[in-house]
Amino acid sequence: MAAKTYGRPKGKIVSVATRPILPTPGLTAERVALLHRLTEGLPPADLYWISAWSAALAAQATRVVLPAGAVVAEAPNAATGERLTVLYGSQTGNSRRVAERLTERATAAGLNVRLLRTGAYPVRELAQERHLALVISSQGDGDPPDDALGFVEFLTGKRAPKLPLLKFAVLGLGDSSYPQFCAVSRRLDARFAELGAQRFAPLGEADVDFEAVGASWSDGVLERTREALGTPAASAAAGQRPVALHAVGGALHDREKPFAAEVLDNQRIVSRDSAREVRHIELSLQGSGLRYEPGDALGVWPCNPPALVEEFLRLQRLDGGQEVAHEGRRLPLARWLGQERELTRLSRPLLTAHAAASGNAELARVLEPERREALTRLLDTDQPIDLLRRHPVSWDAAQLVAALRPLTPRLYSIASSPKVVGEDEVHLTVAILEYHAHGSAHLGAASSFLAAAGDERRVPVFVEPNERFRLPADASRDIIMIGPGTGVAPFRAFVQERQAVGAAGRNWLLFGNRHFAQDFLYQAEWQQALQDGALHRLDLAFSRDSAAKTYVQHRVREHGRELYAWLREGAHLYVCGDATHMAKDVHEALVDVAVAHGGLSAEDARDWLAELLQEGRYARDVY
C-alpha cells in the first residue's frame, strides 16, 4: 500500500495511508484523482455512507437527501444536456434554501436535476452544461460569498469557455441598503450573456425579504425548463420512492419551526471594567432533534427590547392592542413590533419611505447616489427610532407595519463540540450590543434578548449548517485559526473536537482583543489546552495595551515564515470575525506573507490564496 508523507519541523513525519488503486472503467484519470482527494482521510462510517449513496444512484433512485440538506435528483445515465444544474453561493444560508426548494420542486415535476454549492462545482463541466440556474448572494460592498469566490473568478476570468449552447437563469439575494445591491448576480448574469449563453428566465433580484421573489423566479425557471427538456408537469419519476440516507431533512425544528431552548448558563466572560460586555451562553437542545457540527451556526429568533416597542407606540401615539392585518396575517400591533418587525436596523427602503412621507429635503439628499458615504454612515449608526425622533411622521398602525422590514434571525457561530458537551447542548459567545447615540441608549435586538435570557425565557433556535467551515477530514492535518473578539467562538469548538477525536494535527490559534486583563475570552481554557497539548501554539494581539495598536494581522506578518511553512505542509487556515475590516486586513497580510516567504509576486500570492479557498483549505466565516 502506497503512503503519503507531510513534512514537519524537527524531522517529525506523519504517514497517511492511501487507498488501493482499483480498476475504474469509464472514469478518467482526472476523476479518479478527484475521488481520491474527496475521500482522503474519511472514517469508515463516512465511506460506507458514500457507498450506500452510490448504490442508491445505481439502483435508479431519483432523490437523495445529503447531510447538509442539499438534494440531488438525477436520473441514471442521463446526458448532461438533459438535466438542470442548480448552483448556489450562500453566506448565511438563504441562497441555499432557495436553491434547495427549487431542486425539490423540479424533482416533483419529474425533471432531472442536480444541486451543488458553487465551491463544490467542477468548473471544467461548465462548457458541457445546457441548463443552469444560479442563486447567489452579495455581501458587504458587492462581494461574493466566500464559497463562490473561485467560481466567480473562473467565470469572469480568461479561462471561462464560450457558452453558446447554455441556457441560464440567475437570482441574486442582497440588501438594498447597500450601494452594491445584488452586484454579484448582475455581474454574473452579464458575463454568462457575454460568453454567448441565453437567458431562459430574467435576472431576479431579491431584497432581505426574499421569499416571494425567490418563489416567483423559481416558477419561471421550472416552467421554461420543463418546456426545454420536454418533461410533463406530472412526475416522470412517479412510483419511485425517494431514498433518504440522512435524517437532516426530517428534523423536528428548523428556521421556520424553531425550537424553544432552555437556558442552562448565561455568564459574563469579560472583566467588570471592560468597555464591552461579552457573555457565554449555554442552551439545551434536549428533545429538539437538532444536530450540529463544529463550524455550524445557531440561528436565534429574537424579540425586540420591550422598552423600544413602548417608545415606538408612544411616539406614534398608537395602541399596542390594535389589530393590524398585513400580508394575510392579523396580529396586535405590539406583537408586530415586538416579534415580527425590525426595530434596531435602519434600512434604505424605510429611509426612502420616511423621506417621502415627511417631505424632508435632508433625508432625500442622503439618498442621492453621490451621497453614498453619508448614507452608509447613517445606516451604520442610526436605528429607526432615531428617524422617528428627528423627523416625525404620523404613521398609522398599518402603514408602520408595512414600512418596517420583517424581523430576521441572527446567526451565531457555535462555540462547542457535541462530542464534549453532549448532543443536547450548544454554547454561544455573544457580544452585547449597547451604545449611546443622539442622547439615548441603543440596544441590539438579539444580543439584548440573549443577555436577558434565563430561567423564565426560552430562546427560539435552529441550526444553520456551514459546509464551508469544516475541520479537515484528515485529522493529521494542522490547522491555523485566526479569530479576534467573539470570532474565537468556532475555534473553541474546533479545539474541543480535535481533542475529543485525538487528532494528530497541530492547532495554532491567533486571538486578539482590546485588553489582556479585561477581554481575554476563555483565557483559562486556552491555557489548559496548551498544558494538555490540545493547543500547540497561541499568539495574542491586544490592541489597547500599548501605544502602537497591534492586531491579529500584525501577528500574521510577524510569524509569517512559520505560518507559510505550515500552509505549504498542508495546513488548513480559518478566519472568523469582522468582514468589513479584519478579514480584509488578514487577507492582505497573507498576501504579504506569501510574497515575503514564498517568493511569489503579489498576483501569484493572490492566485495561491484563491486556490486554497477553492480547495477548502482557506475558509472564512465573516460577518
For 277-318, what is each residue's pLDDT tens digit? 999 999 999 999 999 999 999 999 999 999 999 999 999 999
622: pLDDT strictly greater than 60: yes
Measured in residues, the chain has a length of 623
472: pLDDT strictly greater than 80: yes
All three cell numbers of 480, joined, read: 491555523
* The pLDDT value given to residue 314: 95
All three cell numbers of 316, joined, read: 406614534
Q: Domain 44-248 in CATH: superfamily? A: Flavodoxin domain (3.40.50.360)
H/E run at residue 132: strand 131-137
Q: Are 161 and 126 in contact (CB under 8 A)?
A: yes
Q: Rounded to whole angstroms, how far apart are CA atoms 453 and 579? A: 28
Q: HSE on the CB side for 486, CA within 13 Å?
A: 25
Q: For residue 167, give the DSSP letter.
A: E
* The pLDDT value given to residue 341: 97
Q: Domain 306-403 in CATH: superfamily? A: NADPH-cytochrome p450 Reductase; Chain A, domain 3 (1.20.990.10)
For cell 440531488, the residue is 72
- Structure confidence by residue, pLDDT tens digits, 370-427: 888 888 888 888 999 999 999 999 999 999 999 999 999 999 999 999 999 999 999 9
Q: For residue 539, give the DSSP letter.
A: E
* The pLDDT value given to residue 208: 82
Say how many C-beta atoms besides its own lie within 10 A of residue 618's C-beta: 23
Of 103, 130, 128, 125, nearest to 115 by C-alpha is 103
* The pLDDT value given to residue 243: 32
In CATH, the architecture of 251-302+409-464 is Beta Barrel (2.40)
63: pLDDT strictly greater than 90: no
- Structure confidence by residue, pLDDT tens digits, 244-282: 333 344 468 999 999 999 999 999 999 999 989 999 999
The CA-based angle 44-45-51, given to 5 degrees, is: 85
578: pLDDT strictly greater than 80: yes
- Structure confidence by residue, pLDDT tens digits, 11-29: 332 322 333 334 444 455 4
Q: Where are the beta strands (DSSP E) in 382-525?
A: 410-413, 425-432, 434-437, 440-443, 459-464, 479-482, 507-513
Percent of the chain at pLDDT > 90 equals 65
Q: What is the mean pLDDT of the chain?
A: 85
502: pLDDT strictly greater than 80: yes
Assign domain 479-622 one CATH number from 3.30.365.10, 3.40.50.80, 3.90.1170.40, 3.40.50.1820.
3.40.50.80
* The pLDDT value given to residue 197: 97
| pLDDT band at residue 37 using 50, 70 and 90 as cut-offs | low
* The pLDDT value given to residue 324: 97
558: pLDDT strictly greater than 80: yes
Classified as helix, coil or strand, 71 is strand
Q: 600-608 long-range CB contacts below 8 Å, 24 or more apart?
A: none
513: pLDDT strictly greater than 70: yes
Q: Are 622 and 146 in contact (CB under 8 A)?
A: yes
Q: Are 172 and 207 in contact (CB under 8 A)?
A: no
512: pLDDT strictly greater than 80: yes
Domains 44-248 and 479-622 fall in the same CATH topology = yes
- Domains in the chain: boundaries: 1-40, 44-248, 251-302+409-464, 306-403, 479-622
* The pLDDT value given to residue 52: 46
